[in-house]
Structure 1
Amino acid sequence: MKSKIERMHTLIDINEELENYFSNTIIPQLYVDANLVLRKFTTPAMKHFSLKQNFAGLPLKNIANHFKYPPIISNIKAVIERGKIFEKEIQTTDKRWYQLNILPYFLRKENRTDGAIITFVDISNIKAQEELIAVHKLSLDTIAHDLKNPILGISLSLQLLKQQADKNDKKYSENLNNVEKGLIQLKTVINELTKSR
């Protein structure tokens, strides 16, 4: 059995590891206890929650944040009560997007949840790419739709001209065939455009 001094050294080592982790991680992260009192936080979290070093020990609800997501406190409570992970994409007041993850802090010896760890992963670039892809798809659809109607009109007019054409006028028939080939190529390009989206 470990002596009191050995146990104290073990606790100091564990605390030092935890302090080292929280001071060196690049992810905004908070640790709150079961009463929603802020216990630890990473340096990047200071920006989003206007945190100062002496805020540890304050209730989380008293600390301002820059997220446009009012139910965050009730979500943290739910995770602590149910012991289940919660994930949601949320936005800051400066229009950046984050993946919010609330994980239960579980005490295995006591078989209970004693708080939560809240992480915020920056997904702004992913969101920007998704928006760009959506705009690109919409643009392709619009272009394809706007071109299909005139092409249909040209196609119908071409069929009428073919029916009225003088079979003996080779130059006229040749020109109609060239227009028809161009029309077929144009239809192919539009089909490929809509497929590529």
Structure 2
Amino acid sequence: MLSTTSEQINNLNQLNEELENYFSNTIIPQIFVDAKLILRKFTPPAMKQFNLKADFIGKPLEEIKENFRFPTIIDNIKTVIATGKILEKEIQTTDMRWFQMNVLPYLIRKENITNGVIITFVDINSRIRDLNEQEKMLAEHELLLDTIAHDIKNPLLALSLSVQMMKNLPARSLE
């Protein structure tokens, strides 16, 4: 029996080591929050991006929510925990960067319950920048088209008035 328990502990330690290795080498900001809204773990990019500290682990998210510049993050987490459905939103951080925030339920499959969430943040700054540039170009094109239409309209109006006046002149005989 002792070898089984010892073997199980070794297996758990190995799994924990693999999980720790995964977290420390993940390049995407990820945050793990349990069903009681306690911060359980975060990746190094999340630590850097959201100014998180190791001693935040085990604290209620309510105490550190200002690090996210997203006022409804706690409500969104509660919704995902209650519904078990994925939530995706675009958010902006305190350093004015944009992220696609994906809040995914953390499931305990054997019991079929949601025991928290995993929040992943994908950098979308380049996409937002591209959209802004496209909107700016569209506005410039609309202005150009308005200017061209205005510039063409005036000579056409003058020509139209001249033709109308010529139609109203009495016909001259070629004598």
TM range (shorter): 0.7 to 0.9
Instruction: Please state if 1:76 is matched with 2:77.
Output: yes
Measured against aligned partners, the alpha-carbon deviations of 1:6-26 in whole angstroms (never above 9, x if no partner) come to 222221121111111110111
Corresponding residue of 2:130: 129
> 3-state DSSP class of the match of 1:90?
strand
Matches within 5 A, 1:47-196: 47-159=48-160
1:121 is aligned with what amino acid?
V
Distance 1:49 1:93, change over 3 A: closer
Instruction: Give, in whole Å, the separation in 2 of the partners of 1:58 and 1:49.
Output: 15
1:117 is aligned with what amino acid?
I
Instruction: Give, in whole Å, the separation in 2 of the partners of 1:32 and 1:97.
Output: 21
Aligned pairs, how many?
Answer: 164
Corresponding residue of 1:178: none
> 3-state DSSP class of the match of 1:152?
helix
Structure 1 position 32, deviation (Å): 1.1
Structure 1 position 159, deviation (Å): 4.7
Structure 1 position 120, deviation (Å): 1.1
Distance 1:23 1:66, change over 3 A: same
Measured against aligned partners, the alpha-carbon deviations of 1:84-140 in whole angstroms (never above 9, x if no partner) come to 111100111222111111100001111111111011111011001001100100110
Instruction: Give, in whole Å, the separation in 2 of the partners of 1:85 and 1:140.
Output: 39
> 3-state DSSP class of the match of 2:116?
strand
Structure 1 position 158, deviation (Å): 3.5
> 3-state DSSP class of the match of 1:148?
helix
Structure 1 position 162, deviation (Å): 6.6
Instruction: Give, in whole Å, the separation in 1 of the partners of 2:50 and 2:156.
Output: 63
Instruction: Give, in whole Å, the separation in 2 of the partners of 1:163 and 1:62.
Output: 78
Preserved contact between residue 91 and residue 98 of structure 1 (Cα < 8 Å): yes
1:77 is aligned with what amino acid?
K
List structure 1 runs of 4+ shifted beyond 6 angstroms: 162-165
More displaced 10-residue stretch of structure 1: 123-132 or 148-157: 148-157
Instruction: Give, in whole Å, the separation in 2 of the partners of 1:66 and 1:37.
Output: 15
Which structure has more RCO (C-alpha within 8 Å, separation ≥ 6)? Answer: 2
2:15 is aligned with what amino acid?
I
> 3-state DSSP class of the match of 1:3?
helix
Corresponding residue of 1:29: 30
Percent identity (aligned):
51
Please report the TM-score for the alignment, with normalisation by the length of structure 1.
Answer: 0.76
2:97 is aligned with what amino acid?
R
Please tell me the root mean square deviation across aligned C-alpha atoms, in Å: 2.0
Preserved contact between residue 49 and residue 65 of structure 1 (Cα < 8 Å): no
Instruction: Give, in whole Å, the separation in 1 of the partners of 2:155 and 2:63.
Output: 68
Corresponding residue of 2:171: none
Unaligned runs of 5+ in 2: 167-175
Structure 1 position 63, deviation (Å): 1.5
